[in-house]
Amino acid sequence: MKQPVMDPSNLADLMEGISKGSSEQTNENCADVIENLDPIPKKINEIWCDILGCASFGQDEDLFDAGGDSVSAVQVFSEINKEFGIQIDIEELFSSECLSINWFSDLVKQYLADLSECNMVQGTDEKSSTLES
């Protein structure tokens, strides 16, 4: 399910409420903002939970310290590729000393940014060649 994009005006209201020290309503709004702030680490956490059978993990907790092994690391990696519709090379697993949710999240974000940039360049090239014809 696609997460809603946070409206910056809501963030301004939230920050104003926090600075005024407002009550439970602000706390509920804060929880909503945090919940929707970044869906990538949230989804990666869900993948870890499914594969490792735990309720939740710290964002910087290493997969191996959390009870994972090389097989579960490959399973997590495979599920992340499948879930986000990407194809990050398995060799990336061996490039990090710590396989944390933040590391996986940064990897996914970088891949998606590179993919987006590549698509934008290809789109520009296609437009310019069309204009030249």
Q: Where are the domains of the chain?
A: 8-37, 40-132
Over residues 78-99, the pLDDT tens digits come to: 999 999 999 999 999 888 889 9
- The pLDDT score that the predictor gives to residue 101 is 92
What is each CA distance from 44 to 11, 71, 74, 118, in whole angstroms?
A: 24, 17, 13, 24
Percent of the chain past pLDDT 70, that is, above it, reads 63
pTM of the model: 0.62
> Domain 40-132 classified CATH 1.10.1200.10?
yes
Report d(CA 18, CA 31) in Å as an integer. 12
The whole-number pLDDT of residue 1 equals 37
Average pLDDT over residues 15-34: 45
Residue-wise pLDDT tens digits, 105-125: 999 999 999 888 887 777 654
Task: Check whether 14 has a pLDDT greater than 80.
Answer: no
Tokens of 54: 């735990």
